[in-house]
Amino acid sequence: MKKSICVIGIGYVGLPTAAMFASKGHKVIGYDLNQKAVDALNKGEIIIEEPGLGELVKQVVADGNLVGTTECPEGCDVYIIAVPTPINEDKSADMRFVEAATRAIVPNVRKGAIVILESTSPPRTVQDLMLPILKETGFVLGEELLVAHSPERILPGKVIEELRTNSRIVGGINEKSSLEVKKVYESIVEGEIFITTSTTAEMCKLMENTFRDVNIALANELAKMSEELGVNCWDVIRMANQHPRVNILQPGPGVGGHCIALDPWFLVEKSQNAKLIHQARLNNDSMPKFVVDKIDSILGGLKGKTVTLFGVTYKPNIDDVRESPVMHIMDMLKESGANVRVCDPHANEKVENNFDIYSACDGSDIAVLGVNHDQFIGVDFEKMTKNMNNKVIFDTRNFWNREDVEKAGVEYILLGEGKEEN
C-alpha cells in the first residue's frame, strides 16, 4: 500500500532514502530546516555528490512524488528521522537534532502512525530520549504510535545500490512496531530484514562501524611498528591476508567521515568497558600528526616549505571533506608555516589553492598522496613533477607505483615502509 512518508533531514542519508521511497510511488515529503537544501530539492537538484542520486531525485520530483519543506508536515503515515548525530568537543554525542526532530513530530503525528529513527545513535536513544517525548502525544506507544530504530548502513559512493541490496535491521519497541516498520522497508529493500529490539539495533549499527575502526587502527599501528622495525607493512598485510581467517584493513593518513570516525565514541561515552574501542579511536586520530611529522622529517622542517596534497576528501571519489584526516594534515602544515597547494578534482568549491594534476606541484617541495581518487590513476609523473623544487612523492595509501615514480626521476616514500638493515 502506498504511504505518505515524511523524511526529516534531507542530507547524505535522508535524501536518497526519501528518493527511493518516492521512486516506489509513495508520497514523500523531505522536511529540513536548511532552506538551501529544500529549495534545491524542489527544483529537482541535489547539493551533494553521489552517483545516481541526481537522476533519481530529478525523476521523483518531476513525477510529483517528492517535495521539500521547512515545516514539519501533519498527519503522515510514517516519519523517518535521518538527522545528523555529531559529537561535541568532549566526544559526547550531540543529540540535539534527534531531540528536535522528535519534538517536531509530536504536535503533527496522527494516531496509528509510525516513527522511525535512522540516525546512528548511542545505545538506549529510542528508549531514554525519544519515548519520553513521544509519550506527550497521548497515544499508547507500541499500539497507537509505532516506534523503531532502523539504522542506515549505506556506503557513501554506493548509496543507491546499498539502500536497495543491503540487509536491514529493524528494532521496534515491541513486536507490532517491528513488523509494521519491516513492511515499510520491504517496498525499497531487496536484502533480508532482521527484527530485533531498538537497543540491539542501535548496538548493531555502532559495532559495525566500530569493527571497521578497530581493524583500521590495527593496520595503522602495524604501519607505525613497521617503520620502526624495518618492515614493509603492505607486504605483511598482503601475505597475512592469505590466511583464511585474517583480513587486516589498509593503513593510511587516518579515518574520516561522519560515521566511522565518530560512532565508536558513542560506545566510549556509554560504557566503561569500551577500552579497546577507545584506544583504537586514539590510534586512528594520531595518524594525521604521524603523517605531518614524517613530512617534517623528510623536508628537514616545514616552515617556508611548499607541500602539495593530492586528495583532501575523507575517502576516494566523493566530495565530502567532513572529518577528513587530510584536511587536518593541511591545517597542521599551515600552522607549522608551510604553504599548502591542493589537487582534488572532487572537492572543487571546498578548498582553496586547488590546482589540476599537472600544475599542482609547481614550486613544491613534496607531493603527498592523501586520497586515491580515480583521477590519479595513470598520471604522467615526469609532467606532474617537472616544476618541483624537490622531486619527492610521499604516498600514504600505497597507491602510486614505485617503479613508475622512480622512472620519472622522483624519489618515492611509502607510509608504513621501514627499511630493513641486513
Region 26-55 residues binding ligand SAJ, contact defined as CB under 6 A? none
Q: Render the burial of 191-204: b for 16+ CB within 10 Å, e for the rest.
A: eebebbbbbebbbb
Which of 29/260 has CB closer to ligand SAJ? 260
Instruction: Compute how many residues bind ligand SAJ; rule: CB under 6 A.
Output: 20
* Binding residue (CB under 6 A) for ligand SAJ from 56, 169, 249, 347: 249
* Binding residue (CB under 6 A) for ligand SAJ from 149, 168, 270, 315: 315
80 counts as binding ligand SAJ under rule CB under 6 A: no
Q: Which residues contact 261 (CB under 8 A, 6 or more apart)?
A: 213, 254, 255, 284, 285, 314, 323
Nearest approach, Cβ of residue 251 and ligand SAJ (Å): 7
208 counts as binding ligand SAJ under rule CB under 6 A: yes
264 counts as binding ligand SAJ under rule CB under 6 A: no
Nearest approach, Cβ of residue 196 and ligand SAJ (Å): 18
SS3 state of residue 28: strand
Which of 27/350 has CB closer to ligand SAJ? 350
Q: Which residues contact 371 (CB under 8 A, 6 or more apart)?
A: 310, 311, 312, 313, 314, 315, 316, 324, 326, 344, 397
Which of 120/137 has CB closer to ligand SAJ? 120
- Whether residue 205 lies in the annotated active site: yes
256 counts as binding ligand SAJ under rule CB under 6 A: yes
255 counts as binding ligand SAJ under rule CB under 6 A: yes
Query: Which grid cell sits at 47?
Result: 547539493
Region 116-135 residues binding ligand SAJ, contact defined as CB under 6 A? 120
* Binding residue (CB under 6 A) for ligand SAJ from 118, 152, 395, 417: 152
Which of 19/299 has CB closer to ligand SAJ? 19
Order of strands across the sheet that contains 339-343: 339-343, 306-310, 366-369, 392-395, 411-414
Which of 211/358 has CB closer to ligand SAJ? 211
259 counts as binding ligand SAJ under rule CB under 6 A: yes
* 108 contacts 75 by C-beta, under 8 angstroms: yes
What type of residue is 411?
E
H or E element, residue 68: strand 66-69
Taking CB atoms, the residue at the shortest distance from ligand SAJ is: 259
- Whether residue 182 lies in the annotated active site: no
Rounded-to-integer distance, Cα 94 and Cα 121, Å: 9
260 counts as binding ligand SAJ under rule CB under 6 A: yes
Give the side-chain half-sphere CA count within 13 A for 83.
Answer: 19
Active-site pick, 3, 182, 205, 391: 205
Identify which of 117, 110, 177 has the alpha carbon closest to the alpha carbon of residue 143: 177
313 counts as binding ligand SAJ under rule CB under 6 A: no
Query: Which grid cell sits at 19?
Result: 528518493
Identify which of 402, 389, 1, 364 has the alpha carbon closest to the alpha carbon of residue 414: 402
Which of 62/155 has CB closer to ligand SAJ? 155
From residue 26, alpha-carbon distances to 78, 134, 281, 391 in Å are 11, 25, 40, 57
Rounded-to-integer distance, Cα 303 and Cα 292, Å: 12
- Stretch touching ligand SAJ by CB under 6 A, among 141-149, 187-195, 226-234, 256-264: 256-264
314 counts as binding ligand SAJ under rule CB under 6 A: yes
Rounded-to-integer distance, Cα 149 and Cα 26, Å: 21
Active-site pick, 6, 72, 76, 259: 259
Catalytic residue list = 205, 259
Q: Name the residues that contact ligand SAJ, by CB under 6 A.
A: 120, 152-156, 208-209, 212, 216, 249-250, 252, 255-257, 259-260, 314-315
